[in-house]
Amino acid sequence: MTSLGLAAQPLPIGATAPELSALDQNGKSVSFSDLYAKGITLVYFYPKADTPGCTAEACSLRDSYATLHDRHGKAIQILGVSRDTPESQKKFQQKYQLPFTLISDQNGNVAKAFGVTLIPIVGLTSRQSFLVEDGKIVWSSLNAQTSGAATEVQKALLALHTSKE
């Protein structure tokens, strides 16, 4: 994977989710495996904080945050990931009152671990989403929605609930 946008191979359903650490919007290290241990985790990648599509996606998840639950009624963990600095992520989080963690992936290691494609020429992460349960990828969207992000994730959660009953 290069900054010129060569296609990566996204992690397939059933693959082990990457166990790595990265800085959040506060500059603190976040262990992905610690979050996975708390329940279903949505890891969503977006190109750039505070741009129209990325704001619509984040606000969709924000507005549905209270209703995004796993099959046990437990709220899912949400990690938003982009190549923005922790400071940019913090401003984005505060401006839109986002109730979830934003990850600064300046070196692209998180995107690389998930196999997220970069946008040609500019080298920003493409809009992709993954649900992780019990340390495994259980759902992915390789062309994730913007304003419909929460609806897309809720449908995936319902399908997971149905398939496990």
Q: Going by C-beta distance under 8 Å and a sequence separation of 6 or more, which residues neighbour residue 5?
A: 117, 118, 119, 120, 121, 123
Q: Which of 156, 16, 26 is nearest to 93 (CA)?
A: 26
Active-site residues, by number, are 54
Residue 67: what residue type?
T
Length of the chain: 165
